[in-house]
Amino acid sequence: MKKWINYLPTLFVIMIVLSLFFYSSQGSTRTMNYTQFEKIAEDADFGDSRVSISSNIIHVNGTYSRHDEKISYSVIIPYSESNMEWLNETLTDDGGEITVEDPNQSSIWITLLSNILPLVIIGVFFYIMFAKMGGGGSNKAFEFAKSKARVESNVKTRFKDVAGCEEEKEEVKEIIDYLKNPKKFTDMGAHIPKGILMVGPPGTGKTLLAKAVAGEANVPFFSISGSDFVEMFVGTGASRVRDMFKNAQKSAPCIVFIDEIDAVGRQRGAGMGGGNDEREQTLNQLLVEMDGMTDNIGIVVIAATNRPDVLDPALLRSGRFDRRVTVNLPDVKGRKEILEVHARNKKLSTDVSLENLAKRTPGFSGADLANVLNEGAILAVRKKEKQITMNDLDEAIDRVMMGPAKKSKKYTEKDKMLVSYHEAGHAVIGLKLEDADMVQKVTIIPRGEAGGYNLMTPREEKYFHRKSEFIARITGLLGGRTAEELVFGEVSAGAVNDIEQLTKIAKNMVRVYGMSSLGPIQYADPQGNVFLGRDYTQGSSYSDGVADEIDKEVRAIVDECHTQCRKILTENRDLLDLIAKNLFEHETLTNEEINNLMNYGTLDNPETKTETSETPEETSGPEVPPLPKQGVEQKDLDDALNELTKKKS
């Protein structure tokens, strides 16, 4: 019915066009009176005619020819015997035929339709137009307070489509059992959780997991965002909450999924200005509806958020959200499973190893991994390849982490050498420091805001980190800046991101983890923005004297790491120069090439080379001149740089 209503304006236009065509066709017919017809009949040649005789008049329609022009005519003649005889002679004199029609032959329905139908169409047209412009009045007001939840009756998502969260699946399997067979729970006197709160970083699959629960249980899935409740008018959100739970009761058993619940579930009475009346009324209604739900009624509320710290305590208490499921970032095994799920419809080359790809992507969420495979597929299409290669996926990882390579951006020779030593400094620390992250790739090709970067991954993934590991990470971050100091005698602004990260780690060691002489005391300030549900009356939890001690401890940690970093780079200056020179020449070095440089002094492993008749001079590549060890003489550095440039050209 709604489809036909949408077509009514089009039908209305078509009717107008047809009416105009009909009347235009009638306009070509000449309508005349009896006197005019008598004058024309004197010299006109009449063709076939149609005559309709009633009690008082004779209605004649037909055509006549005059001066080689054929004209349609219509005339009404008074009825009489003499007029009938004259009309018969006149119309048949030139061989024309007369067809007599019954004046009552036309159907009454045709007459009604021709007279009434245009008026009906016009009325319906204007009714629809006014209704679409808001002329519905009270109906629109009632629809405004209706729930905006989207309902899926046949969810196709299953647990096999959700990878990397096996423990989380175990937590929600009881919900599936209950929705399929609630009797065994009621017989045992068990109450199924009314609400499940899924907490975790963005992109970890909270929404997908909730949808998989509905798919496995084969129940309707009500999906709505927390922001869909909140409107400008106070009371609208509360009305939508009531309507949503009312609809859910009609469809029970079912699952109600509220995404980004922090949009409506923030703490009441906190923040600048004391809160928002509309949002707080909506939250109050949600609390009442969940508290008023009868046990085992068949409605399970699943909510998702990545900001559990700002949620109202009344929302998190038992009886509302009874269970919290933390969906963390996947480990290496989970990342491999996620990659296998998203690689189902991808044409991967035989050189692609999803296991190696999983090892190279620590900290990636499920959404990030899906994006890596998608970017790899796009790059393969761009290169007109038939399959996705490992090089495509390697470039895709770089694009997801740092953005596309800015190959058009050109360094000066001095800047290029500085960036080479900066990145080589990071690489040497990663190679020589035991607890530092492993170097996977080093490049001086600019990406995003960075002039170059090191892809470094942990030697093994851990849930708990020791103090030595934090010290090693800070030392690794100082590697680039320290290499600049050692070689060039000055520093650049290229280490700004490194400094930001190491400062954050050092502060957390002192203020959060208790890894300093201040002891196991937490001095961290309350986290959170006052506009996101935090009270602006809270202040610092320590005195000014303690703040001064914290600053000294942070400085001591960074100074200790800086000294250690400088010592390592000084002792391995030959390796630093070798990696920097190869970076200057090749711009990108892989993990295998860096290890070969450390072990053999060349990019290739001489043990795996096939013996050829080529001389060593022909296979060893261009000779790279040595650079000054201390870097204090700018003239020596410039001379070495010029000589290297000549060799390269």
The span from the CA of 316 to the CA of 301, in Å, is 13
Q: What is the 3-state secondary structure (H, E, C) of 304-341?
A: EECCHHHECHHHHCCCCCCEEEECCCCCHHHHHHHHHH
Establish whether 298 is an annotated binding residue: no
To the question of whether residue 78 is assigned a binding role by annotation, the answer is no
Alpha helices in 515-612, H assignment, sequence order: 544-571, 573-586, 591-600
Closest CA to 258 of 230, 281, 217: 230
Residue 342 labelled as part of a binding site: no
Q: Is the dihedral of CA 99, 104, 105, 109 positive or negative?
A: positive
Q: Is 423 a catalytic residue?
A: yes
The distance from CA 287 to its chain's CA centroid, rounded to whole angstroms, is 30
Contact (CB, 8 A) for 373 and 396: yes
**CB atoms closer than 10 angstroms to residue 562:** 17
- Residue 326 φ/ψ, nearest 5 degrees: -90, 120
Question: Residue 634 is encoded by which pair of tokens?
Answer: 């700018």
Is the separation of the CB atoms in 503 and 489 below 8 Å? no
Q: How many Å apart are CA 187 and CA 128, to the nearest integer? A: 55
Quick one: DSSP state of residue 235? T
Say whether 586 counts as a known binding-site residue: no
Helices 413-432 + 573-586 axis angle, to 10 = 130
Q: Would you state the structure tokens that stand for residue 400, as one six-digit string? A: 């997801």
The reply to whether 552 sits in an annotated binding site is: no
The annotation status of 606 as a binding-site residue, yes or no, is no
Q: Which amino acid is at 15?
A: M
Q: Indicate the pairing of strand 453-457 with strand 69-78.
A: unpaired
Q: Tell me which of 171, 423, 484, 553 is the catalytic residue.
A: 423
- For the chain, give the number of residues: 649
φ/ψ (deg, to 5) at 218: 60, 55
602 is in an annotated binding site: no
**Interaxial angle between packed helices 544-571 and 496-511, expressed in degrees from 0 to 180 and rounded to the nearest 10:** 130
What tokens appear for 187 in the block?
């017989």
Query: CA 212, CA 179: separation in Å to the nearest integer?
Result: 13
Does residue 75 contact residue 32 with C-beta atoms inside 8 Å?
yes
Q: Is 426 annotated as a binding residue?
A: yes
Taking the C-alpha atoms of residue 524 and residue 613, their distance in angstroms, rounded to an integer, is: 67
How many Å apart are CA 38 and CA 128, to the nearest integer?
A: 52
Q: Output the six-digit token pair for 51.
A: 């005559």
What does the block give as tokens for 580? 């920097």
What's the gap between Cα 306 and its chain centre? 16
Residues belonging to the active site: 423
* Numbered residues of the known binding site for Zn(2+): 422, 426, 498
Q: Which residues are annotated as a binding site for ATP?
A: 200-207
The binding site consists of 200-207, 422, 426, 498
